[in-house]
Amino acid sequence: MRASLRGRLLGLALGATVLVWVATVAVTWIDARHEIDEVMDAHLAQAATLLIVQLSEDIEEVETEHAPLLHKDARRVAFQIWQDGERLRLHSENAPNVPLGGREEGFSNRTVDGKGWRVFTAWDPSREHLVYVGERSELRAKLAARMMAGVLAPLLVALPLLALLLWVAVRQGLRPLEALAADVGRRDPDNLAPLDAGRAPREVIPLIDQLNRLFGRIAQSLERERRFTADAAHELRTPVAAIKAQAQVAQMAASEPTREHALGQVVAGADRASRLVEQLLTLARLDTADRAAFTACALRGLATEVIAELAPAAVARNIRLELIDGAEATVRGIPALVQALIRNLVDNALRHGATLVRVQVVPGADGATLAIVDDGPGIPDAERAKVLQRFYRLPSAREGGSGLGLSIVQRVADIHGATLALRAGEGGNGLRVDVAFPPRHHPAHNQDA
């Protein structure tokens, strides 16, 4: 069962209050006992002094050993007068017959007949009479207890009232959060408008700001998905329609050559549709790429694998595909995505009229650069920004494509913190694509990983 914020706040507030009260009561108890001891000790000393002043030679004429009790608490206070400290001459009715203390003057704590006493001992000036004035220890404890009862009684009455007031205060204080939850709960799934923070408390505004930013990111993501879905549906409709048309031509063909040609077009259309679907799936994977999967990527090794994979297609098109000699360069990234980047760049060069495609890996202190250079028709300056957009194709493209290759390259570069640059190839002819990867220990990589 999840903890309630209201209950947690109420518990913390009450707990802090009770803790402060307990500490206050403890300090009050200690202070009260100290003050009571000071006052009662002074009383014992004063009583002993009065007894000594009243002593005279007439004590021999005292007929009784017992002084009367004049107060209810007098049963807990007693005195004794001993002649020469050895013969009991006078004592209160509640005093025992044995000495309450020792022969040394001053205060002491004694236990007589199983009862605790606080005793003050004094000699008269002639050192003939030893006076003991004692007080039962329990009297002091009871006085302190009465005092603490007077302190605690209002607190025990106030605690339930304080709990009720705190509960009301916490409930009122959490109303803005309840209103915010109700506002979010009433929204339709497609309502991503920002929340109104006009009347919200200052502590709630950061939460509202973060929710509004989240709504904004979700809205942008949904809009991208809608555009992507619409464009993908449009792009898939064309090859599917072409495949269907060619299949119908093959069905109705009167001659074998016509049928073979139509079936060849069906196969080519299926290849284009397959490549389009593959690129769409690649884009979908890029949107959920996990940067925690970053590891060391050997650029030259990945480029070698891609060239070996695409070499048959280059030979079929009579295109020269080369990997320039050089040292290995290691960057941090997701190997499968880096390989997809290289594959799309090389495949684009093979499909757009080049006769020579060179791949080069250049290590450096500031990272590593992957360069793909071809001698094809190139891309005009005005079109270089547009070709990075999804589904954009050059009007002069010789071979039909989906317009997703370079957008995939751009997305992979963004994920890896790399910089993508398009410019003219050697001698101003063809196209050169440079992908500059940051150093392996770049801060962005450390954060991503």
Are β-strands 66-67 and 87-92 bridged in parallel, bridged antiparallel, or unpaired? parallel
Range in 46-60, 186-200, 202-216, 395-409 the model is least confident about: 395-409
Q: Which two tokens stand for residue 190?
A: 């497609």
Q: In this predicted structure, what is the pLDDT of residue 436?
A: 92
Q: Check: CB of residue 404 under 8 Å from CB of residue 347.
A: no
Helices 205-252 and 175-185, axial angle in degrees (round to 10): 10
**254 compared with 310, residue with greater pLDDT:** 310
Q: In this predicted structure, what is the pLDDT of residue 244?
A: 81
What are the E-state strand segments in 185-235? none
CA distance 30 to 1: 43
CA distance 408 to 275: 13
Q: In this predicted structure, what is the pLDDT of residue 371?
A: 92
Helices 137-173 and 175-185, axial angle in degrees (round to 10): 30
| Interacting residues of 247 by C-beta distance below 8 A, sequence separation 6+ | 262, 266
Q: Check: CB of residue 132 under 8 Å from CB of residue 99.
A: yes
What class does CATH assign to 5-161?
alpha beta
Q: Do domains 5-161 and 189-288 have the same CATH topology?
A: no
Q: How confident is the model at residue 138 (pLDDT cuts 50, 70, 90)?
A: confident
Q: Measure Cα distances from 214 to 70, 193, 217, 221, 286 in Å.
A: 84, 11, 5, 10, 20
The mean predicted confidence, pLDDT, of the chain is 78
Q: How confident is the model at residue 289 (pLDDT cuts 50, 70, 90)?
A: low
Q: What is the pTM of this model?
A: 0.48
Q: Check: CB of residue 104 under 8 Å from CB of residue 120.
A: no
With b for 16 or more beta-carbon neighbours within 10 A and e for fewer, the 80-98 pattern comes to: bbbeeeeebbbbbebbeee
Helices 5-54 and 137-173, axial angle in degrees (round to 10): 160
DSSP string, 140-154: HHHHHHHHHHHHHHH
| Interacting residues of 303 by C-beta distance below 8 A, sequence separation 6+ | 323, 342, 359, 361, 370
Q: Taking 50 as the threshold, does the pLDDT of residue 444 lie above it?
A: no
- Helix and strand element counts for the chain (H, E): 9, 13
Give me Rg for the CA atoms of the chain: 50
What class does CATH assign to 289-448?
alpha beta
Q: Which two tokens stand for residue 273?
A: 């549709």
Q: In this predicted structure, what is the pLDDT of residue 403?
A: 63
What value does the mean pLDDT take over residues 273-277?
71
What class does CATH assign to 189-288?
mainly alpha
What is the domain partition of the chain in residue ranges? 5-161, 189-288, 289-448
Query: Which among 362, 12, 30 has a CA at the least distance from the CA of 166?
Result: 12
Cα dihedral 338→340→343→345 (10° resolution): -80
Q: Taking 50 as the threshold, does the pLDDT of residue 64 lie above it?
A: no
Cα dihedral 141→142→147→153 (10° resolution): 120
Q: Angle 300-305-311 (CA atoms, 0-180°, nearest 5)?
A: 115
**34 compared with 62, residue with greater pLDDT:** 34
CA distance 218 to 212: 10
Helices 205-252 and 256-287, axial angle in degrees (round to 10): 170
Q: In this predicted structure, what is the pLDDT of residue 279?
A: 65
CA distance 129 to 131: 6
CA distance 316 to 374: 17
